[in-house]
Structure 1
Amino acid sequence: MESKKYLEDITEIKDLMNRSSRFISLSGLSGILAGIYAISGALITYVFFLPKGDYVVLHSWNFRMIVGILIAVAVLSFVTAYLLTSRKAKRNNESVWDETTKRLLINFLIPLVTGGIYILIKLNSQHYGLTGSLMLIFYGLALVNASKYTIGNIKYLGYTEIIIGLICAAFPGYGFWFWVLGFGVLHIIYGSLIYFKEEKA
């Protein structure tokens, strides 16, 4: 009996240590909403700003509008994730901003910012074909790189984004649709899995 209690105490201590060195898992609902934002932005882009059978020219009005939509989707996704994750942290009496959060953001932003700069360099050289692929690959790398600082299986979302990005590189003419799959559909699937797991917990 004493031995069983000792093992339970050890397990609880290990769990507390693990949680203290990792950021709380993101809200599943935030993943679902991020996917919806991405698909909505893609739909607006496809209907109003994407030339049929041609690439968007850098510095054109269409290009600026598409960049604006991308930024809007990213900001909405970030704000939604922050608000819902903060609410989840408050409910679980956990801190949402500490040294672990800073490490998570740094590890997430390094590949993401590097990828963003590289994509802009390629666009400025009028190499448009792999933009969607590069966005997916660098985003996937950012998720994998940050996953060691968060609770949950976000690394698997990262692996999937990388794989889709590599497939997209083999079919550059379909970059837009791979982007919708990676940033839209996958986020909804991943967010739904996390959400229903949370509901059962």
Structure 2
Amino acid sequence: MSTQDYLKDITEIKNLMNKSSRFISLSGLSGVLAGVYALFGAGVAYYIVKTSARGYLILDGSIFKLCIAILLGVAVLSVLTGIYLTTKKAKKNGEKIWDRSSKRLILNFLIPLVVGGLYILTTLGHQKYGQTGALMLIFYGLALVNASKYSIGDIRYLGFTEIALGLIAAVFPGYGFWLWVLGFGVMHILYGAIMHFKYD
């Protein structure tokens, strides 16, 4: 057996181990669409706030509730799109959508995300609104980094970017909205496009 054959066998074994321990069928296109949804939602919210009677956001008013509804709509649409496109890609690759690796991926993604969501709700309950955008970016970034161990490793770079943007937003809360747009909108589109051309 030649050295080339040994290297080929080692590569195949490595690929098999990678497939058994990581969920690699995440769709890059779903990242692009999530970014588009975020930009659209942010644009609609910005327009609603700027054309309201006051021209700025009142955090206990109906405009604020409408903006929260838009945010939740963006999140739900992004998740549903991600599930659909990832399921489609997994079937195409002959992978199971709900196996040990995908369960570990979801669990490790949700732990920081749920904790962050509860913390954000707690701070909003105490009428501390200034750091909401920063906290969203930071906890989402932590969720991506935590989940990257069980999926495509490149996800961690998006996570690090979101964390960095969140920390900048914490230092400059007046730019929180635009950093949120950059993190959830532009970075998702950029990352999704890279992943689409690299893996899809």
Q: Which TM class, normalised by the smaller chain length?
A: over 0.9
Counterparts of 2:3 and 2:40 in 1: how far apart (Å)? 56
Q: For residues 56-135 of structure 1, what are the structure 2 equivalents within 5 Å?
A: 56-58=58-60, 60-135=61-136
Secondary structure of 1:15's match? helix
Letter in 1 for 2:26: L
Residues 65-97 of structure 1: per-residue CA shift (max 9 Å, x gap): 112111111111111111111111111111111
Letter in 2 for 1:57: L
Conservation of the 8 A alpha-carbon contact between 2:25 and 2:90:
no
Displacement of 1:61 = 1.5
1:191 has 2:192 as partner: yes
Counterparts of 1:123 and 1:55 in 2: how far apart (Å)? 14
* Contiguous gaps of at least 5 residues in structure 1: none
- Count of residues in Structure 1 that have an aligned counterpart in Structure 2: 198
Q: 1:15 maps to what in 2? A: 15
Q: 1:41 maps to what in 2? A: 41
Conservation of the 8 A alpha-carbon contact between 1:111 and 1:142:
yes
What is the root-mean-square deviation of aligned Cα atoms in Å? 1.6
Letter in 2 for 1:154: I
Conservation of the 8 A alpha-carbon contact between 2:35 and 2:185:
yes
Q: 1:28 maps to what in 2? A: 28
Counterparts of 1:114 and 1:54 in 2: how far apart (Å)? 29
Conservation of the 8 A alpha-carbon contact between 1:49 and 1:62:
yes
Residues 171-196 of structure 1: per-residue CA shift (max 9 Å, x gap): 10111111100000000010111112
Percent of paired sites with the same residue: 61
Displacement of 1:54 = 4.6
TM-score normalised by structure 2 residue count:
0.93
Letter in 2 for 1:102: K
Residues 12-66 of structure 1: per-residue CA shift (max 9 Å, x gap): 01111111110114211111100000000001101114666754323x3122211
Counterparts of 2:74 and 2:177 in 1: how far apart (Å)? 15
Letter in 2 for 1:108: F
Q: 2:3 maps to what in 1? A: 3
TM-score normalised by structure 1 residue count:
0.93
* Contiguous gaps of at least 5 residues in structure 2: none
1:169 has 2:144 as partner: no
Conservation of the 8 A alpha-carbon contact between 2:49 and 2:55:
no
Counterparts of 1:164 and 1:96 in 2: how far apart (Å)? 32
Counterparts of 1:19 and 1:57 in 2: how far apart (Å)? 46
Secondary structure of 2:127's match? coil
